[in-house]
Structure 1
Amino acid sequence: MRKVVSITGVANVVVVTLGLIVLSLMHGPASSPRTPAPHAEAQKKVEQAPPPPAKPALPGFALPAPVQATEESARAAGANELGLVPVLMYHRIRWDRSASIDRTPKQLRVELERLARAGYVPVTAAEFVEGKMDVAAGAHPVVLTFDDGNPSHFALDADGHPMKDTAVAVIFDVAKKFPSFRPVATFYVNREPFGLKGEDAQKAGVRWLLEHGFEVANHTWAHPDLRRLSNKKVSEQIVRGERLLKKLGVADFSTFALPFGSRPRKGSLGRGGSWDGTKYKYEGVFLAGAEPSKSPFAKGYDPREIQRIQANGLAGDCRRWCSTYWLKWLDDHPGERYTADGDPESLSAPRQLRANVASKRGKKVIYY
């Protein structure tokens, strides 16, 4: 497998500089003022009026029925479960982009449709780090991550459907157009998820996302640069973020994303530690740049510093390090990317890559 040159240090400097902008989070729309109750006659007319047409239901999705992979089926699928997985990192989704890391709803839609046409199927960050990327034979997993819990990621309209042009709405739109595109993503949030005010609203929002297959995960309490904090303060930020999410109904804490991709001076604190009597431990810790991740089964995969790719075009540093470049590179090097064998119980790869297996995760290994 061609070695992907690690540029984490350089990329993280760029991300830290740009990332300061996203700390100024957008607020969700204000609630409508309470209107007086209509008088009896008007109320009677309302009750007699036909109900408004229902909005179409959100597209459903079921994981493909598992197959029992064989050497022949793995070869036919071009399976390579030691290949590279793009973990895409998004920030604000807004029409009036004010920072280079912002993306418009159209840009998000175009990129997701590109992924769908190329045979990518979204999995959550937790599924990735746990090695449970159970997509169909011949398909490629992709991880969609959204940082900072911005209101542009998730909001519901008056009918309880995802608000138009939010990240969640765009994901469902693409899934409706491409039925094999699984509508899931991972949202890394801070102390005010999605700009929702009050614990009840935050609980309802988080519950909606979890019930629809999304992952909501920890991005610290206040989004500080952890490298600038003492060890105790690092753990405090992580624990306070985790306590909030537990209070809001999150039970699975497999993954954590470093604000700005900045690692604590004591690097192990990103993955595990304790504060104020509360312990935490993560299966995977995500950086903020700037290349595809290695497979969790492959040599070189490090759960303490998992690479992500900034979603962006080809301007400036992104000529080499962002999603437009890397998705084309993976298209041009299909043998380098993760391609599934369709069997959750097996791990398949070309025979010449057998020395690259680092973790079988209890799976049967098939070489062809």
Structure 2
Amino acid sequence: MGGFGVRGIGLLSLSVLALAGCMDGQTKVVAQPAAHNSAKPDKAQDTRKAAAARAAKVKANELGQIPVLMYHRVVAKPAGTDDRTPQQFRTELERLAKDGYVPITAREYTTGKIAIPAGTHPVVLTFDDSSPSQLTLDGTGAPKPDTAVGILLDVSRKHPGFRPVATFYVIKDMFGTFGPEAQAQVLGWLHDNNFDIGNHTRDHLNLRGRSKEQVTEQITAGHKLITSLIKDTPSTLALPYGNQPSTKTWAIRGGAGDVRYDYTGVFLAGYTPGASPFSKDFDPLGIPRIRAMDKVGDCARFCSTAWLDWLNAHPEDRYTSDGDISTVAYPKFKSPYVTPRFARYTLPY
């Protein structure tokens, strides 16, 4: 499963780069005017060589694969294969921290804003269906310690480089709360603490086989629910049951009434790690996720423990950061996998 796409925002000498929205489902990178550059060409070349040497030292591969892990409930007594116990969840987070992974959000992933230290690897933690086991606030407005957020915060405190961020794909049954005030309170806490909120449709209906009107109604209803509660706009969608509509583009862009949505990525359910957002293999219409589960049954090969083992055994296929968001570093022989529109930002070594 070789060469996946490119991370980063790009190399543009001393220019300042800014991410701006999306166009045709892809990130648009806008170069802002640079200050007058009086540096001699040979100095710029020396700077580039030094950056390449640093990337080579940490074996940077920003064309590598990124695990996007999919969680549902975190409960003491699992009722199905999608549930994890608090201890299982904590163990997996501890493993990720030990293996050098740094969490990023789905928004950061799909827009290419992957700013993590040199030599580390991005991981995207996603939670579906907005269960109260994921986040419940106590009487002081703090997450209860046995919830997914509480556990993530605790692991982050013990491993300071392990960012406490994740993406929550919410539906109308929002963390067990009732009424707009309570829902705004819990979504507001997530937003204020740098968590990412994505759309999972309002009613969690299977979109396969439904008409365009039915698909867009469900997506716009979920979108409106979020934007009516907090001053933020979701940038990604997780498809209920991972099922795509008959026309894939309906999921990423559309609208009904006065509500429009234009997402940077649409997530599926299960199977493989995802491609780098700057790779020829990256498809914003169908980004795979990995079920969080131990190596049992079908999950002996295709769930989180198995895939994390595989990535550890194949470091050449895993995304490794060079620590510089303005460059896209990778071994030179992987150049054919770079998507052409980001070629000028690359740093092969």
- Which TM bucket (shorter chain)? 0.7 to 0.9
Q: Which residue identity does 1:191 align to in structure 2? A: K
Larger radius of gyration: 1
Matching of residue 150 in structure 1 with residue 131 in structure 2: yes
Given the alignment, which residue of 237, 244, 250 partners 1:263? 244
Q: Whose relative contact order is higher, 1 or 2, with alpha carbons under 8 Å and at least 6 apart?
A: 2
Conserved 8 A contact 1:347-1:363: no
Q: Name the residue aligned to 1:295.
A: 276
- Residue by residue, what CA displacement relative to the aligned partner does 1:245-296 show, whole Å, maximum 9, x if unpaired? 0011142322110000000012111111121242211110000011000101
Given the alignment, which residue of 77, 86, 93 partners 1:96? 77
- Which runs of 5 or more residues in structure 2 are unaligned? 5-46
Q: Name the residue aligned to 1:321.
A: 302
Conserved 8 A contact 2:295-2:301: yes
Using the TM superposition, name which of 226-235 and 95-104 deviates more. Answer: 226-235
TM-score normalised by length of structure 1: 0.80
Deviation at 1:350, TM superposition (A): 0.4
Deviation at 1:362, TM superposition (A): 8.4
Matching of residue 278 in structure 1 with residue 278 in structure 2: no
Q: Secondary structure at the match of 1:188?
A: strand
Residues 93 and 173 of structure 1, relative CA distance in 2, 3 Å threshold: same
Q: Name the residue aligned to 2:156.
A: 175
Using the TM superposition, name which of 339-348 and 244-253 deviates more. Answer: 244-253
Q: Name the residue aligned to 1:344.
A: 325
Q: How do 1:157-168 and structure 2 match up within 5 A?
A: 157-168=138-149
Given the alignment, which residue of 245, 249, 267 partners 2:226? 245
d(CA) in 2 for partners of 1:362 and 1:196?
A: 47
Q: Name the residue aligned to 2:103.
A: 122
d(CA) in 1 for partners of 2:342 and 2:168?
A: 26
Conserved 8 A contact 1:296-1:359: no
Matching of residue 223 in structure 1 with residue 198 in structure 2: no
Q: Name the residue aligned to 1:70.
A: 51
Q: Name the residue aligned to 1:36.
A: none
d(CA) in 2 for partners of 1:207 and 1:133?
A: 24
Deviation at 1:3, TM superposition (A): 7.5
Conserved 8 A contact 2:129-2:173: no
d(CA) in 2 for partners of 1:363 and 1:139?
A: 24
Equivalent pairs: percent with the same residue? 46
d(CA) in 2 for partners of 1:194 and 1:136?
A: 33
Conserved 8 A contact 1:297-1:359: no
Residues 268 and 176 of structure 1, relative CA distance in 2, 3 Å threshold: same
Deviation at 1:147, TM superposition (A): 0.2
TM-score normalised by length of structure 2: 0.85
Q: Name the residue aligned to 1:108.
A: 89
Whichever structure has more strand as a proportion of its residues is 2
Given the alignment, which residue of 137, 156, 169 partners 2:118? 137
Q: Name the residue aligned to 2:188.
A: 207
Conserved 8 A contact 1:346-1:363: no
Conserved 8 A contact 2:291-2:303: yes
Conserved 8 A contact 2:311-2:318: yes
